[in-house]
Chain A
Amino acid sequence: MTTVIKAPGESAAERSGGAGPSGEQSAGRSEGMVLNVFSHGFLVLWAVLIVLPLIWLALGSFKTDAQIGGSALSWPSNWNLDAFGRAWDKGIGDYFANTLIVMVFSVPLTMLLGSMAAYVLARYPFPGNRFVYYFFVSGAMFPVFLALVPLFFMVKRFDMLNTYQGLILVYVAYSMPFTVFFMHSFFRTLPTAVHEAAVIDGASDTRIFFQVMVPMAKPGLISVGIFNVLGQWNQYILPSVLMQPQTGSDPERYLLTQGLIQLQQQQGYETDLPVLFAGVTIAMIPMLVVYLSFQRQIQAGLTSATLK
């Protein structure tokens, strides 16, 4: 890999070195080549360290339990999808569905409420505007579990423990700081001229928001949307406190992350590790697909949000 990739950089250096390279320049060039090999060495090493454990884990789904306990470096012997089927039956399918049900409502609701608040705060001066904005944004500072104890009883008081709607409302509330923060800066950058034209045409504020501003803010909405999808999909603490069956007869509404941890704990007794590995692989695949399709937006969205 190193040698193949080095070639273009090398020739580019030669070209721009121009005619009659001085001693200094050629020294620089060979230093560059050494460094190129050096940097690729480290870069490849880290790439391997990222990819290898993930592939190793996925391969574990095709091993037998004895093989997994035996040697880590054994090659899978059991090339069928049995473990995936067993993992699905063990509840991964249901957990997957539960997570989807929650997110189908929580993500759009987060986006809607978050951009409504951000829009008003970004474009309508009123007394207390700054205060409300900082009030919203400050929530991002604190770790979630600091509020867990009272939150648990708050949700309990609404009789919404172990319900989808309870978790959806909590997800929306906890996604608010970031969404408002991000969309606020986005709405500020949109030109006012369009807004004024719409006002002159007699459009109401609500109509301007939905028909003019939201379409214009689409790139921002996509970035925040992806962020919220990732954040809510990966959430573990909130569901593990709020989505526990409250009585023996309560249905189990675990989400995927909870289900995986539960599966891991079960495997301590049941010794069916391929199922656990298959479960994790199933949970990983959607993220891989989403990531590879949107990686530009994901990287750009997360970095710009952090840097601001």
Chain B
Amino acid sequence: MSQVVRGRGRTGFIAGFLLAPLALYLTFVIWPYVQTFGYSFTNWTGQSPTFDFVGVDNYSALMKDEVFRGALWNNLLLLVFVPAVTILLALFFAFMVNAGGRGGAGGVQGVAGSRFYKIVYFFPQVLSLAILAVLFGAVYRTDEGGLLNGVLIRLGIVDRMHPIEWLNEPRLVLWCLLLVVVWHGVGFYLVLFSAAMQSVPKDIYEAALLDGAGRAQTFFRVTLPLLWDSVQTSAVYLGIAAMDMFVLVSTMTSGQFGGGPDHHSEVMATVLMRNFLYFGKSGYACAMGVVMLVLTMILSVITLRATRRERIEF
């Protein structure tokens, strides 16, 4: 900072401006996170003010908890598939939108109407998860009134008497939820990748074209490496989202805080909330929180490491 600005003592000003934001943030964000750690070593019920220190009992109980292990497994499945499917689709559409219109001429041009596609695709992003839950609850209805069953019955693929029980079918339920997440997310990542693609100088593409690179080659050898940073960031974001999933599972699937049928759509967040609000096992729920927190951090680090490449400056 410049000389003029550094001049007088401005400790009072700095403190005054930081005081309220820091106080709020510490009270409602940081302190609860810290407390989660503390409570995870107690048998606190949440209702009574007293509790005992039980060491790592909660954590060892977690290891044996079948429901939690199932939930962990489901989270891991989502963790692989949510980013993979979303990023692949988003990259595909982004490439179509930005380079699909290249008509053999030099340079790359977007398809006509690319602006329109971006507007439409992005819209789900501004809808609340509650709206998604109601919308897809209706789409996945188990009778002919559901959009999916209705269409499939009309096409003659599904028998009118035996419509598919999307969210009640143990083998399907998780994938139905996955589709909702993908439907919601693709537009955002499309726009993200488009922005990254457009920041790539045109002459790089022209050079590749002059060297006789085809479309696929251009994509894999030029576009993708240049986008790697954004792909990596997206993977982390989507990974964190896949660790959560609370709203969709708890509102769309059967059971107290969702997770049904028979725990087939259980995720860690729903098990946590059920233990906290329904069973009153707050200390135990906090231990789950800590496990999730640690997993989330490990995953972010792994994703960032595993996908690290030479950073390309342009």
Binding site for B on A (CB under 8 A): 5-6, 8-10, 12-14, 16-17, 25-33, 35-36, 38-40, 42-43, 46-47, 49-54, 56-57, 60, 68-73, 113-114, 116-117, 119-121, 123-126, 132, 135-136, 139, 141-143, 145-151, 153-155, 169-170, 172-174, 176-177, 180, 192, 195-196, 199-200, 204-206, 209, 230, 233-237, 256-258, 260-261, 264, 273, 276-277, 280, 283-284, 287-288, 290-292, 295, 298-300, 302-304, 306-307
Q: What residues of A have a CB within 8 angstroms of the CB of B127 in the complex?
A: 234, 284, 287
B220 within 8 A of A: no
Smallest CB-CB separation from B89: which chain A residue? A46
Question: How far, in whole Å, are A49 and B103 apart by their CA atoms in the complex?
Answer: 27
B196 within 8 A of A: yes
CB distance from B179 to the nearest CB of A (A): 10
Category for how many chain B residues contact A: 35 or more
Instruction: Identify whether the interface residues of B are mostly helix, strand, loop, or mixed.
Output: helix
CB distance from B187 to the nearest CB of A (A): 7
CB-CB under 8 A for A117 and B121, given A35-B215, A36-B111, A154-B28? no
6 additional contacts (CB under 8 A) given A50-B120, A146-B36 = A43-B117, A124-B14, A230-B126, A257-B131, A264-B134, A291-B122
A306 lies within 8 A of B237 (CB):
yes
Binding site for A on B (CB under 8 A): 1-2, 4-7, 10-11, 13-14, 16-18, 20-22, 24-25, 27-33, 35-36, 39, 46, 89, 92-93, 96-97, 100-106, 109, 111-113, 117-131, 133-139, 141, 143-147, 149-151, 154, 183, 186-188, 191-192, 195-196, 215, 229-230, 233-234, 237, 240, 243-244, 246-247, 251, 269, 272-273, 276, 282, 285-286, 289, 292-293, 296-297, 300
Question: How far, in whole Å, are A303 and B195 apart by their CA atoms in the complex?
Answer: 8
CB-CB under 8 A for A145 and B138, given A72-B147, A72-B149? no
A69 lies within 8 A of B196 (CB):
no
A149 lies within 8 A of B130 (CB):
no
Q: What residues of A have a CB within 8 angstroms of the CB of B188 in the complex?
A: 302
B243 lies within 8 A of A132 (CB):
no
Question: How far, in whole Å, are A195 and B10 apart by their CA atoms in the complex?
Answer: 15
CB distance from B47 to the nearest CB of A (A): 10
B131 lies within 8 A of A284 (CB):
yes
Question: How far, in whole Å, are A40 and B119 apart by their CA atoms in the complex?
Answer: 15
Work out how many contacts link A and B, with CB atoms closer than 8 A.
Answer: 319
Q: What residues of B have a CB within 8 angstroms of the CB of A204 in the complex?
A: 13
CB distance from B239 to the nearest CB of A (A): 11
A261 lies within 8 A of B130 (CB):
yes
A117 lies within 8 A of B22 (CB):
yes
Q: What residues of A have a CB within 8 angstroms of the CB of B39 in the complex?
A: 149-150
Q: What residues of B have a CB within 8 angstroms of the CB of A180 in the complex?
A: 21
A149 lies within 8 A of B286 (CB):
yes
A116 lies within 8 A of B233 (CB):
no
Chain B CB count within 10 A is highest, among A150, A153, A283, for A150
